[in-house]
Amino acid sequence: MNGSENKSFLRILVVNSGSTSTRLALFENETPVFSETMMHSAEALKPFHRIADQYDFRLRAIKGFLSRNGIRLDTLDAVVARGGLLRPVEGGTYAVNDRMLEDLHQAAQGEHASNLGGLIARSIADAAGVPAYIVDPVVVDELDDVARVSGLPQTPRRSIFHALNQKAVARVAAGVLKKTVDEINLIVAHLGGGISVGCHRRGRVVDVNNALDGEGPFAPERAGSVPSGQLAELCFSGRYTFTEIRKMLTGSGGLVAHLGTNDMRVVRKRIASGDATARLIIEAMAYQIVKQIGASAAALNGDVQAVVLTGGLAADLDFTALIADRIRWIAPVVVLPGEQEMTSLCQGALRVLRNQETLKEY
């Protein structure tokens, strides 16, 4: 640990690469000293065919953040990033080892912007001579066996969701209810560039839609569940390559496909100017989220203590109202806009550096 557990404060650089943003923060213990969110438009990301191709683009942006804020690498104790698409693992804090780097770079389990996190964290950490970690990656898998079964044995359901933020806001919501997560059942809906709705039963996410490549509500950039027969026709129409179809499902689906933008602010302006199509698409996205929440309530036998709405879109009061008005009969609705990911990443690193938690190897 290089004596880190004996220091009065620990400096942790947190890197969170999302589909449309790179969020950065420098923490001293649990306190953020510097933070910044750099947004990346669909146009800026369009030239990159694979997520890994964005590596240099995002690393340059991060180095700019370090330079602007006078953050020297030799003052860091660790670099921690949001985990990417890896093989299924249990929750916890993991060292970014060579095997993980290979899987992230090759996108062995799929393409997602969070794959960049471990790659970038390791690069910066190696330059600083400190450890690199990930915490609660998107492939945390706690599904019940019955939830893994799909209509085709060749396509079992996979647990890919916003595990870090879902688990973090579940703890916050439990505190609001004066309970712990292992005492209650929650439905947590993360509303961002992708949308995941998780069934939290006594602290375990026993069912959740695959928020990456083809389940659940459509999102700003993702198609969600689409009619499978029509999708098969598209695949074999000869008009599209496999890569183009994948891009339709993840990256250029949802709002991007319907409205040409992933920015809710742009959509709101169009609605305010009388754009009826934009209004319909937003209402349809909320409608699909409502249906997923209703299905989750059924999966929990109706025993739900709260429905939590979180993520970037939860800051849009008009949008959350479209959802909340339809689901209040299930349980009280708790709205926690944004996410707890940055603090949760920092805390995961601190627990390991302070010898409060065993570091896991991938």
> 249-271: per-residue pLDDT in tens?
998 999 999 999 999 999 999 99
List pLDDT tens digits, range 151-188.
999 999 999 999 999 988 998 999 999 999 999 999 99
Give CA separation, 175 vs 181, 237, 332, in Å: 8, 52, 14
In this prediction, residue 324 carries a pLDDT of 98
pLDDT, greater one: 164 or 277? 277
Predicted TM-score (pTM) of the model is 0.81
- What CA dihedral angle connects 18, 22, 28 and 30, to 10 degrees? -30
pLDDT digits (tens, 9 = 90+) for 12-48: 999 999 877 899 999 999 999 999 998 887 788 888 8
Q: Are 25 and 14 in contact (CB under 8 A)?
A: yes
Residue tagged 């915490």 (tokens): 135
Confidence at 92, pLDDT banded by 50, 70, 90: confident
Specify whether the CB–CB gap between 77 and 132 falls below 8 A: no
Residue 239: phi and psi, rounded to 5, are -90, -20
The C-alpha atoms of residue 349 and residue 14 are separated, in whole angstroms, by 9
Ordered domains of the chain (ranges, CATH)? 4-141+341-353 (3.30.420.40), 163-337 (3.30.420.40)
pLDDT tens column, 302-358: 999 999 999 999 999 999 999 999 999 999 999 999 878 899 999 999 999 999 889
What pLDDT, in 10s, does the model give residues 126-140?
A: 999 999 999 989 899
Q: What is the model's pLDDT at position 1?
A: 42
DSSP string for residues in 223-284: --S--HHHHHHHHTSSSS-HHHHHHHHBTSSHHHHHHS---HHHHHHHHHTT-HHHHHHHHH
Task: Report the pLDDT value the prediction gives residue 4, as an integer from 0 to 100.
Answer: 56
